Amino acid sequence: MCATIMATKFPDAPKIGMVSLGCPKNLVDSERILTKLRSDGYQMSPDYAGADVVLVNTCGFLDSAKEESLEAIGEAMAENGRVIVTGCMGDEADVIRAKFPQVLAVTGAHQYEQVVNAVHDASPPIPNAFVDLVPEGGLKLTPRHYSYLKISEGCNHRCSFCIIPSIRGDLVSRRIDAVLREAEKLVQAGTKELLVISQDTSAYGVDTRHEPRLWKGREVRAHMTDMARELGQLRTADGVAPWVRLHYVYPYPHVDQVIPLMADGLLTPYLDIPFQHAAPSVLKAMKRPANEAKVLDRIHKWRAICPDITIRSTFVVGFPGETEADFQYLLDWLDEAQLDRVGAFRFEPVEGAPANALPGAVPEEVKEERYQRIMAKTAAISAAKLQAKIGRTLPVILDEVGEPDEEDGSIGATARSQADAPEIDGSVFLRDVGEGRKAGDIFDVVIEDADEHDLYGVPVQD
Ligand code: SF4
């Protein structure tokens, strides 16, 4: 007897295209929106042609970013025509509508519900109890082995060059138990590296008076130190401790408390601190939080406790009123601070930022000359620091494995050391990694060579 198997044919689910612009925080927003839409039964489209609706998650931080956002909307309109705009630039709906009257909807930054509702209106979901599943850990736009963990929105500071508080509002911290639950799910789903992000990670919980919540039967405060200690205890299914990296930390006194956690191996020995400048008069004009004058002492103390700590920072050159003496002060400060990783930007006025009204605009050619000088200085510091790593054995996390060499079959790979955050820092290029390694593997390598930003090495033979 033969049985006839009837396949149930479901109607095709609507498909969503996503263009995500701007910073990692925006990327996390895009992931959240896509996760919600996926759980509502939508499918993703990798191209414009296959999408029923295209979402453009915009960035409005700098005027150049706004330009880029408008260009992206224009492209999506031309290629598809059914476009919903969200993100920071969504707060300027009239500018978008004036240029693109046909957009289906415009929603602002982190208005998840509104943007999801707009998608439902534009292309209603088809309910299907059999296929409405979200992969564990949600949908991710980053590779599976690292994930951004957003702990708060907004910022209580009012740096004169920044419009984020006027777009995103004051600091709103997530509950500590929600943050830890999300981190635990990510790690269970295969994340080997957690990148903690916010506008000001060291201010986490200030708005909720560090409200404690129960987590695994004990009270944990919404505080950077408590969070870091708990994240450091997570383990993957096969018992691997994920790397935990703190980004956007300001040098408040309590930051000293996380350095011993790095020395004990609970946290990745890496701090991303956007100092922006060192000269007191420029910092004052920038209205920056924290007093840089004592920071050099603190950095020396941090290195005494955790000699392997990597300190990454960003600096702005050519801020209004910056004199040659101020700039030289910054270069001397960098000589003393010996920061491991540095990014520099030429000052760019942002529409709506108070800094635009400051006197003493620095001519473009002077900005450029200072930019070249700071880049040369920091590249030299970085090169010397990386040279000192030659011969050492360091743990790395694997990002990408190459194809076997046609002649000798050897396999190369790209990895990162604990000093390298994805996308922004250097790489460790590996030779002869052997077969069977995969992205996310953490193992020891011997460093054989170095240049200004990257290292070269080979895995330690077991
Ligand atoms: S700390 Fe300053 S630069 Fe950073 S988000 Fe807040 S206001 Fe902007």
Measured from CB, residues less than 6 Å from any atom of ligand 1 are: 155, 157-159, 162, 164-165, 199-200
Which tens digit of pLDDT belongs to each residue from 295-323?
Answer: 899 999 999 999 999 999 999 999 999 99
Residue holding tokens 């982190």? 110
Which tens digit of pLDDT belongs to each residue from 377-428?
Answer: 999 999 999 999 999 999 999 999 998 888 888 999 999 999 999 988 999 9
In this predicted structure, the answer to whether residue 4 has a pLDDT above a threshold of 60 is: no
* Mean pLDDT, residues 183-201 taken together: 92
| pLDDT value of residue 417 | 98
Grade residue 133 by pLDDT with cuts at 50, 70 and 90: very low
The alpha carbon of 29 and the centre of ligand 1 are apart by a number of angstroms equal to 19
High-pLDDT (> 90) share of the chain, %: 62
On whether the CB atoms of residues 179 and 148 are closer than 8 A, the answer is: no
Pocket test for ligand 1, best of 150, 157, 166 (most atoms within 8 A of CB): 157
High-pLDDT (> 70) share of the chain, %: 93
Length of the chain, in residues:
462
Atom number in ligand 1 closest to CA 156: 6
Atom number in ligand 1 closest to CA 250: 1
Atom number in ligand 1 closest to CA 162: 8
Atom number in ligand 1 closest to CA 287: 2
The alpha carbon of 156 and the centre of ligand 1 are apart by a number of angstroms equal to 8
Grade residue 134 by pLDDT with cuts at 50, 70 and 90: very low
| pLDDT value of residue 35 | 75
The alpha carbon of 6 and the centre of ligand 1 are apart by a number of angstroms equal to 59
The alpha carbon of 255 and the centre of ligand 1 are apart by a number of angstroms equal to 17
Pocket test for ligand 1, best of 197, 198, 200, 315 (most atoms within 8 A of CB): 200
Specify which residues 395 forms β-bridges with: 444
* Mean pLDDT, residues 155-182 taken together: 89
Q: Tell the residue nearest (CA) to atom 2 of ligand 1.
A: 159
Q: Tell the residue nearest (CA) to atom 1 of ligand 1.
A: 157
| Cα 55 to the center of its chain, rounded Å | 21
Q: How many C-beta atoms surround the C-beta of residue 98 within 10 A? A: 9
Domains annotated on the chain, with CATH: 15-122 (3.40.50.12160), 146-387 (3.80.30.20), 393-459 (2.40.50.140)
| pLDDT value of residue 24 | 75
Which tens digit of pLDDT belongs to each residue from 208-256?
Answer: 999 999 999 999 999 999 999 999 999 998 899 999 999 999 988 889 9
Q: Which residues contact 136 (CB under 8 A, 6 or more apart)?
A: 185, 188, 189
Whole-angstrom distance, CA of residue 452 vs CA of residue 404: 27
In this predicted structure, the answer to whether residue 135 has a pLDDT above a threshold of 70 is: no
Q: Tell the residue nearest (CA) to atom 5 of ligand 1.
A: 199
Stated as kind and residue range, the H or E segment containing 43 is strand 43-44
The answer to whether 23 is annotated as binding is: yes
Atom number in ligand 1 closest to CA 165: 7
The answer to whether 2 is annotated as binding is: no
Grade residue 284 by pLDDT with cuts at 50, 70 and 90: very high
Both tokens of 3, joined, read: 């049985």
At 385 the three-state DSSP class reads: helix
Atom number in ligand 1 closest to CA 200: 1
pTM: 0.77
In this predicted structure, the answer to whether residue 129 has a pLDDT above a threshold of 70 is: no
The alpha carbon of 193 and the centre of ligand 1 are apart by a number of angstroms equal to 25
Atom number in ligand 1 closest to CA 158: 7
Pocket test for ligand 1, best of 152, 162, 166, 250 (most atoms within 8 A of CB): 162
Long-range contacts of 223-229 (CB under 8 A, 24+ apart): 223/176, 223/254, 224/249, 224/254, 224/255, 224/258, 225/254, 225/257, 225/258, 225/261, 226/176, 227/151, 227/176, 227/179, 227/180, 227/196, 228/196, 228/258, 228/261, 228/266, 228/267, 229/261, 229/266
Quote the mean pLDDT of the chain.
88
Grade residue 372 by pLDDT with cuts at 50, 70 and 90: very high
The alpha carbon of 381 and the centre of ligand 1 are apart by a number of angstroms equal to 27
The alpha carbon of 47 and the centre of ligand 1 are apart by a number of angstroms equal to 35
Pocket test for ligand 1, best of 59, 164, 166, 197 (most atoms within 8 A of CB): 164
* Mean pLDDT, residues 9-14 taken together: 66
Whole-angstrom distance, CA of residue 299 vs CA of residue 18: 41
Q: Tell the residue nearest (CA) to atom 4 of ligand 1.
A: 199
Higher pLDDT: 108 or 334? It is 334
| pLDDT value of residue 290 | 62
| pLDDT value of residue 166 | 81
Which tens digit of pLDDT belongs to each residue from 41-94?
Answer: 788 888 898 899 999 998 877 777 888 889 999 999 999 999 999 988 888 888
